[in-house]
């Protein structure tokens, strides 16, 4: 029997959502410059979803907005937050899909600083699944080698243990807990399927981003006294909390 040349499956990717809140091209350009200077490794060649729900339809120059974002080496995967049919046609004609948003874990809006997990199924990209559909972890995924810049590791329905260093620009994602027995300089996202009981444990904390079930800290939000130290990160009353392990 001849094997098929393609296969289509659902999968899980971590994507940035970039909220465009101004029609002013110069202001957008300035804001992107400032953000990239703060976190050059985090935003380098990053795929993004654009949220255009805050834009004034009467003043939109979509071509210029798209060009300025691409000029900063972002890869636009799709656009969400568009409710105007004419604007949707403009977006589609520019070669980008219009994506539908699923239910959010919280009602609070995520800022440009934050990651949101999007899941691709047969119909559209959707947000992180809610608590009712959260699955318990049932095994542990172990990595013994260094995690290099650009590498992305996802432990589905599982805890993730890395017994080595995690470089800047690398990304660890797990539906359960994440343990790093080494220096971590990349992005670490635990409880990716909505499990608010997940934890992050590390022995030398220099992370670019920490996340538990949709709650995020970037590097400048991590308390300075924990930088370079052993730490446990978890949610307490839906708020990210950090404790020393030493």
Rounded to 5 degrees, φ, ψ at 61 are -115, 85
Alpha-carbon gap, residue 43 to 36, rounded angstroms: 6
Cβ count within 10 A of residue 208? 23
Q: 13 forms bridges with which residues in the sheet?
A: 118
List the domain boundaries for the chain: 11-126, 131-244
Note the pLDDT of residue 1. Answer: 55
Q: Decide if pLDDT at 113 tops 50.
A: no
Range 11-17 average pLDDT:
66
Residue 7 burial by CB count (10 A; 0-12/13-18/19+): exposed, middle or buried? exposed
Per DSSP bridges, beta strands 200-205 and 231-236 are: antiparallel
Q: Each residue of 18-52: pLDDT tens digit?
A: 899 999 999 999 999 888 876 666 676 778 889 99
Note the pLDDT of residue 129. Answer: 31
Range 207-224 average pLDDT:
90
Query: Which overall architecture, per CATH, does domain 131-244 show?
Result: 3 Solenoid (2.160)
Q: Decide if pLDDT at 117 tops 60.
A: no
Spell out the residues 6+ positions from residue 84 whose beta carbon is closer than 8 angstroms to its own: 57
- Residues in the chain, total: 246
Confidence (pTM):
0.52
Q: Taking the mean position of all CA atoms in its chain, how far away is CA 209?
A: 9
Q: Decide if pLDDT at 125 tops 60.
A: no
Residue in the block written with tokens 């948003």 = 101
Domain covering 11-126 in this structure, CATH number: 3.30.70.260
Alpha-carbon gap, residue 109 to 149, rounded angstroms: 29
**Average pLDDT in the chain:** 80
Note the pLDDT of residue 14. Answer: 60
Note the pLDDT of residue 233. Answer: 96
Per DSSP bridges, beta strands 215-218 and 209-212 are: antiparallel
Rounded to 5 degrees, φ, ψ at 168 are -60, 135
Range 225-235 average pLDDT:
95
Residue 120 burial by CB count (10 A; 0-12/13-18/19+): exposed, middle or buried? middle
Range 140-167 average pLDDT:
91
* Residue 227 pLDDT grade (very low, low, confident, very high; cuts 50, 70, 90): very high
Q: Decide if pLDDT at 128 tops 60.
A: no
Q: Each residue of 173-187: pLDDT tens digit?
A: 999 999 999 999 999
């Amino acid at each position: 029997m001849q094997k098929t040349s393609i296969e289509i499956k659902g999968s899980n990717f971590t994507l940035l959502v970039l909220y465009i809140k101004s029609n002013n091209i110069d202001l957008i350009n300035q804001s992107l410059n400032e953000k990239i200077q703060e976190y050059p490794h985090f935003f380098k060649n990053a795929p993004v979803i654009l949220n255009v729900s805050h834009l004034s339809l009467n003043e939109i120059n979509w071509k210029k907005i798209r060009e300025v974002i691409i000029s900063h080496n972002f890869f636009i995967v799709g656009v969400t937050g568009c409710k105007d049919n004419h604007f949707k046609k403009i977006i589609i004609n520019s070669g980008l899909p219009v994506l539908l948003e699923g239910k959010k874990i919280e009602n609070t809006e995520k800022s440009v600083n934050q990651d949101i997990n999007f899941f691709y199924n047969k119909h559209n990209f959707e947000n992180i699944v809610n608590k009712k559909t959260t699955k318990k972890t049932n095994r542990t995924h172990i990595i013994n080698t260094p995690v290099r810049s650009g590498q992305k590791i996802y432990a589905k329905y599982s805890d993730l243990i890395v017994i080595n260093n995690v470089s800047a620009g690398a990304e660890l994602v797990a539906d359960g807990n994440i343990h790093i027995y080494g220096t971590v300089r990349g992005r670490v996202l635990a409880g990716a399927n909505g499990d608010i009981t997940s934890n992050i444990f590390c022995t030398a904390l220099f992370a670019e981003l920490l996340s538990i079930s949709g709650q995020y800290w970037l590097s400048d939000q991590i308390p300075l006294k924990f930088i370079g130290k052993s730490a446990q990160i978890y949610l307490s009353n839906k708020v990210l909390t950090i404790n020393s392990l030493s």
